[in-house]
Structure 1
Amino acid sequence: MKQNFITPLIIVVFFLSCKEDKTITPQKEETKIETKAPSKQEEITDPKETEVWDPEPKAISFNDSNVPSDATILFDGNGLDQWISTKDSTAAAWTINPDKTMTVKPGTGDIQTKNNFGSVQLHLEWKAPDVVEGEGQGRGNSGVFFQNKYEVQILDSYQNRTYSNGQATSIYKQHIPLVNATKPNDQWQTYDIIFHAPEFDTDGRKTKSGFFTVIHNGVLVQDHVEILGSTEYIGPPKNDPHGKGPIKLQDHSNPVHYRNIWVREL
């Protein structure tokens, strides 16, 4: 009997047609992003490529007392024309000496510049009283104030112990000097002070702190330290808004001597 192959074939086709139709989607080819290796910077062989010619710094000169030509002389021994009394704005009453120095006249009060200043470089020279008297804060005490608020202490700190944030070159009650570079009272002391004034917005908020750098007798003693606010005798610093202000020298009842004071606006 001849075998029939058609029936099994029909069954197989029927079975395959009943299965779920699964379409094979061809795999999407991944996009390859080519990254270029950073090009090596071309080596500079010509020194002129790194030369900057503009702007050219302004040239200054110096007078016989070594005061720079762009400075304002505040005291050179020829009078107190640049100063007034702090308490009543009358003429400053400190003593002018024959050697062109000036001395605090105890009881006459602080003196301050007629002009107001912002950020400045200040140079001044001072000497402790000729006779050593008192101790601690009572010996050769004065001070230089910026904008009538921020004091760099002046004190006879040669072999004279006091609280560290109140000795010579301290930012009073805020920053202790790095070292004590005070000379004996028979020698002149030199202060070179960089003062960057704090800034305030129109609403009276402080937007930028001020900073002091102080060099005492050629030695760095305050290295760009932040001004926390006014240098108060009692209590914490205050940050009342203000603009430019005078430079003030303090009468602390000690006959401290001064000479050669000049300022450069920054």
Structure 2
Amino acid sequence: MSMRSFISLVCCLAVASVACGQEFKSGIEWPEPKVITPGEKPSDPPSDAIVLIGTDGMSAWNGGEKWKFEDGVATAAKGGINTKQKFGDIQLHMEWAAPDEVKGSGQGRGNSGVFLMGHYEVQILDSYDNTTYFDGQAGAVYKQSPPMVNAMKKPGEWNTYDIVFTKPIRNEKGDVVAPARITVIHNGVLVQNSYPIRGSTNWHKPPAYDRHKDAESISLQFHGNPVRFRNMWVREIEPIEPTFVPEDTKMVRYRADWSTEKITAAPPKESEATAEEAPAKEEPNKKEEPKAKDAKPKKEEVKEEAKPQAKTEEPKQEAKKEEKPE
């Protein structure tokens, strides 16, 4: 077959497959996604972002007046600060730099932290050629999950954090039924991949979920080191919701807060698999039922002991026949 003939055949088959195929339509109706204007550079806030540290000072922060602010750069001093506005699910961008002059070691070198909802800390630390415990270095979910890699820049150079955070989901009793999750990109490198947070990140006790509201402040820690911050902005995450979902749809909806039942059974396929396994576990009991029936002839044999031997041999033979398949 010539190359031209081969190509023609392939094209014909492709056209035929398209003609025979049928487009899948979910039947779900969605609103049109909102149009926003992205920043010219990755560090620039998009049009729907809330600027926390920009060119206009520290007015977005409680306690912001305690920090030094100059030319769009805030330097940690005299205590921690927290945002006046409260947030739940967010996308957060921030840039930070450890001091130029290296002082101290371990946790005493370029230490700060960003707290989501005031409870869940992503560690900020000068981890460039600085030995410390791994779940306490830059990019770690403090005391819970070390970064997958150390992407730290040299002291004095600017680092970037891009963070996606979703709050924990609670039921009507206030119990956590879906953990908070966090994704952290440090200097363009993924270091936390949708990590399920185990609870509040404490220094002195194991993680556990504390009671808090669905929206809380973002906090920046002062740990005695003059860590610098700039270009910090946040976007509130609002998942797009369908306007109509047909009752017979087979589309699986994974958002935990759509339905309490979906939370406890998530993902749904697991509950279906469990239901299918249940009959399989009962099968051995069903197979043992004939054994119970087999026992009846034995009782009859006891009653018929006084009868002639010829009559008693027949049940015995039947019992033997029934025992063979077992």
- TM-score computed with the length of structure 2 as normaliser: 0.63
**Is the 8 Å Cα contact of residues 77 and 96 (structure 1) preserved in structure 2?**
no
Closer/same/farther in 2, CA of residues 44 and 220 from structure 1, 3 Å limit: same
The match for 1:31 is none
Q: Aligned partners of 1:70, 1:256: CA distance in 2, in Å?
A: 28
Aligned pair partner of 2:58 in 56, 63, 80 = 80
Tell me which of the two structures has the higher relative contact order, counting C-alpha pairs closer than 8 angstroms and 6 or more residues apart. 1
Aligned pair partner of 1:93 in 66, 71, 85 = 66
Aligned pair partner of 1:184 in 125, 130, 154 = 154
**Is the 8 Å Cα contact of residues 167 and 180 (structure 2) preserved in structure 1?**
yes
Task: Report the Cα offset of residue 63 of structure 1.
Answer: 4.6
Q: Which moved more, 1:231-240 or 1:149-158?
A: 231-240
The match for 1:15 is none
* Structure having the larger proportion of residues in helix: 2
The match for 1:157 is 127
Aligned pair partner of 1:262 in 233, 239, 258 = 233
Structure 2 stretches lacking a partner, 5+ long: 1-15, 238-326
Q: Structure 2 counterpart of 1:163, which letter? A: Y
**What is the RMSD of the two structures over their aligned residues, measured on CA atoms?**
2.2
1:142-196 CA-to-partner distances (Å, cap 9, x unmatched) read 0000111000000000010100000001000000110000000131000000001
Task: Report the Cα offset of residue 208 of structure 1.
Answer: 1.3
Q: Which moved more, 1:240-249 or 1:212-221?
A: 240-249
The match for 1:25 is none
Q: Are residue 142 (structure 1) and residue 115 (structure 2) matched?
A: no
Task: Report the Cα offset of residue 51 of structure 1.
Answer: 8.3
**Is the 8 Å Cα contact of residues 200 and 242 (structure 1) preserved in structure 2?**
no
Q: Are residue 103 (structure 1) and residue 94 (structure 2) matched?
A: no
Task: Report the Cα offset of residue 239 of structure 1.
Answer: 1.1
The match for 2:37 is 61
Aligned pair partner of 2:145 in 175, 182, 185 = 175
Closer/same/farther in 2, CA of residues 204 and 94 from structure 1, 3 Å limit: same
Task: Report the Cα offset of residue 50 of structure 1.
Answer: 5.5
Structure number with larger C-alpha Rg: 1
The match for 2:221 is 250
Aligned pair partner of 1:196 in 166, 169, 173 = 166
The match for 1:238 is 208
Q: Structure 1 counterpart of 2:69, which letter? A: I
- TM-score computed with the length of structure 1 as normaliser: 0.76
Closer/same/farther in 2, CA of residues 177 and 63 from structure 1, 3 Å limit: closer
Closer/same/farther in 2, CA of residues 164 and 78 from structure 1, 3 Å limit: same
Task: Report the Cα offset of residue 57 of structure 1.
Answer: 2.5
Q: Aligned partners of 1:46, 1:120: CA distance in 2, in Å?
A: 44
Equivalent position SS for 1:214:
strand
The match for 2:179 is 209
Equivalent position SS for 1:169:
coil
Aligned residues: 217
Q: Structure 1 counterpart of 2:128, which letter? A: Y
Q: Percent identity?
A: 48
Task: Report the Cα offset of residue 201 of structure 1.
Answer: 2.5
* Structure having the larger proportion of residues in strand: 1
The match for 2:255 is none
The match for 1:21 is none
Structure 1 stretches lacking a partner, 5+ long: 1-41, 86-90
Q: Aligned partners of 1:172, 1:182: CA distance in 2, in Å?
A: 16
